[in-house]
Structure 1
């Protein structure tokens, strides 16, 4: 009598579920939002405090996420829309920035000048090189961590881009409102929505990065005593 012995697949042969892959990726992308709490629980003091900490933790998250996308997910950065922009992509980024700035300007005239709350005051009192570093850092890394990756991975997981966009928008707004205050929405909420419209329409993350950079750059004016 012959006894056939089959070799069942081991757990190492199984691919991780798409949901698990997405969850781990999101945990990496949103690392800057919870790393301080984790370090606090562990009673570990590392890196700069306050707003300048985004330079360290955002770039660390981008590096880790890039490795995760390429090595674990086996995708290129084109999967999060980091592809060479067309001239029209950049042109529309500029146009959308003008629209967002016009809304901000109108609210300052019609409602009231935007108050320099504690969060904004903290930033403009930082050394100029640090502010410049934060402007470039947030424009590039936040688009990757808060828009490009979560929207695209949730779109693929659920088959619905709007679910990813809604999730991304909520997670993007929470730290901005908590730091700058609810009034931030009145002056910058339209600009935020326009950035998402630009993303969904042009499907190019560099366009969003440019718009984000143009929106952040005016922070230098009060820091330099201009305006």
Structure 2
């Protein structure tokens, strides 16, 4: 369990901190590494811990996963995000501009690739594996979820900066609450991918038209 937690929580932060933000080739390999990391975590669950994938919220496909994922994505996109941007403007805090400027220099195929990989991998690492295992170690889902949300935010600092990364702690906390309420990691993955697609790809592209 400890080895799995180190992989899930520490490896993404180190990768984000030491990756070459200027090299497209490096970025592609970073995404491949993240996917490999998620596969390794699944292997740890099945072969080392001898646990079913349902222990991290992965169940056979259910249509309600799609419905829940779409519904929560709608909440994040149409309620949470506007309120967050309003609050940041009121506080005079910079938001996601720096990170979006960096991403705007990358080809659209890479952004689609990264959003898909990120949505799947981050949910497996943080919401599924780390939340469940830390909660088991600490005896509290509140503590386990909070620690995972903080780690989730730290992994976003190199690209987005501290202000935006702080907001990912909040969004990570919301995703964690959603996961704990539904026990459905696939719904979290769907919500994560849709939300990032709108924020990272659709909106910036429409703003440039």
Interval of TM-score (by shorter of Structure 1 and Structure 2)? 0.7 to 0.9
Quote the offset at 1:110 in angstroms.
5.2
Mapped partners of 2:34, 2:136: distance in 1: 24
1:162 equivalenced with 2:142 (yes/no):
yes
Which among 90, 97, 100 is matched to residue 69 of structure 2?
Answer: 90
Residue 74 of structure 1: aligned partner = 50
Residue 6 of structure 2: aligned partner = 27
Does the CA contact (< 8 Å) of 1:143 and 1:209 recur in 2?
yes
> Structure 1 residues 190, 154: closer, same or farther in 2, change over 3 A?
closer
**CA offset digits 1:156-210 (Å, max 9, x no partner):** 2332112211210111111213421123157655433322221222221112112
Which runs of 5 or more residues in structure 1 are unaligned? 1-21, 40-46
Does the CA contact (< 8 Å) of 2:17 and 2:158 recur in 1?
no
Mapped partners of 1:148, 1:171: distance in 2: 14
Greater helix share, structure number = 2
Q: Secondary structure at the match of 1:183?
A: helix
**CA offset digits 1:35-87 (Å, max 9, x no partner):** 58899xxxxxxx9424x444111101011111111111111211101124525
Which runs of 5 or more residues in structure 2 are unaligned? none
TM-score, with length taken from structure 2? 0.78
Mapped partners of 1:95, 1:190: distance in 2: 16
Count of equivalent residues: 198
| RMSD across aligned positions (CA) | 3.1
> Structure 1 residues 48, 150: closer, same or farther in 2, change over 3 A?
same
> Structure 1 residues 166, 178: closer, same or farther in 2, change over 3 A?
same
Does the CA contact (< 8 Å) of 2:34 and 2:117 recur in 1?
yes
Is the radius of gyration larger for structure 1 or structure 2? 1
Mapped partners of 1:109, 1:168: distance in 2: 27
1:221 equivalenced with 2:197 (yes/no):
no
Which among 26, 30, 43 is matched to residue 49 of structure 1?
Answer: 26
> Structure 1 residues 24, 38: closer, same or farther in 2, change over 3 A?
farther
